[in-house]
A and B are shown apart, each in its own frame.
Chain A
Amino acid sequence: EAGVAQSPRYKIIEKRQSVAFWCNPISGHATLYWYQQILGQGPKLLIQFQNNGVVDDSQLPKDRFSAERLKGVDSTLKIQPAKLEDSAVYLCASSPEGNTIYFGEGSWLTVV
């Protein structure tokens, strides 16, 4: 079974530029998550989708971050404009019914 796919794996941008990350969850998983992991810390939830509806976006900095999950499958996370403190790994994850969450390899963002 294919895992959670993410792209791009690595991105370097200048501050104030924009960036977008894409995620394809495991087939059939209704719930999709985006987590942010800053170096040396545990991941922190940014947004959670159930099918194409948002369940939790309380920790998403909405002035610069946006995410969508059209058709309840793939998802895109966008940052515009990026700040230096946005340098992190952005992890996409998915889960079926139940509480086990499966993660992708992450998209590594460096803002210079």
Chain B
Amino acid sequence: AQKVTQAQTEISVVEKEDVTLDCVYETRDTTYYLFWYKQPPSGELVFLIRRNSFDEQNEISGRYSWNFQKSTSSFNFTITASQVVDSAVYFCALSEAWGRRGKLIFGQGTELSVKP
């Protein structure tokens, strides 16, 4: 069965600190997609990144970076020089590539609080 685990329930940092959000997944599929979403207090899930299982290159987008390691089934998310606006709940998610295409399996979420 597919499963996503975000072991960190809450993280609190001070502005300008770097912070890494952990994500570990389980799947028997050889082809799959991994996602990160941000959920601010307004409730909308904001898409941040999608990574397919054949692409293990790390990605950087501004202050955000992602480290995908198939060997450890992890897809971790780092925010460099955190800002108060980064405060939100962050979800890691997994989807199958075939069959029930697009169905997302979410982790429990990590609530990030960035204090000024």
The reply on B64 being an interface residue by CB < 8 A is no
The reply to whether A105 and B109 form a contact with Cβ atoms under 8 Å apart is no
The reply to whether B44 and A99 form a contact with Cβ atoms under 8 Å apart is no
Closest Cβ neighbor of A100 among chain B residues = B50
The residue that B44 contacts in the complex, of A31, A35, A48, A103, with Cβ under 8 A, is A103
Shortest distance from the beta carbon of A34 to any chain B beta carbon, whole Å:
12
The residue that B101 contacts in the complex, of A40, A41, A99, with Cβ under 8 A, is A99
Residues in B with CB closer than 8 Å to A105 are 42-44
The reply on A23 being an interface residue by CB < 8 A is no
The reply to whether B47 and A108 form a contact with Cβ atoms under 8 Å apart is no
Take A99-B33, A99-B50, A103-B37 as given contacts and tell me if A42 and B43 are in contact as well, using a CB distance cutoff of 8 Å: no
Stretch with Cβ within 8 A of A (4 or more), from B13-21, B68-76, B89-97: B89-97
Q: Mark A64-108, 1 if CB is under 8 A from B, else 0.
A: 000000000000000000000000010101010001111111101
Residues in A with CB closer than 8 Å to B43 are 89, 91, 105-106, 108
Closest Cβ neighbor of B101 among chain A residues = A99
Q: How far is the CA of A100 from the CA of B47 in the complex (A)?
A: 8
The reply to whether A41 and B47 form a contact with Cβ atoms under 8 Å apart is no
The reply to whether B109 and A41 form a contact with Cβ atoms under 8 Å apart is yes
The residue that B104 contacts in the complex, of A3, A40, A43, with Cβ under 8 A, is A43
Residues in A with CB closer than 8 Å to B104 are 35, 43, 45, 101
Take A41-B109, A42-B107 as given contacts and tell me if A103 and B45 are in contact as well, using a CB distance cutoff of 8 Å: yes
Take A55-B100, A56-B100 as given contacts and tell me if A43 and B33 are in contact as well, using a CB distance cutoff of 8 Å: no
Instruction: Offer 15 A-B interface pairs, CB within 8 angstroms, sorted by A.
Output: A42-B106, A42-B107, A42-B108, A43-B106, A45-B104, A91-B43, A91-B45, A99-B50, A99-B95, A99-B97, A100-B47, A101-B47, A102-B47, A104-B44, A108-B43
Residues of A at the B interface (CB closer than 8 Å) are 3, 31, 33, 35, 40-45, 48, 55-56, 89, 91, 93, 95, 99-106, 108
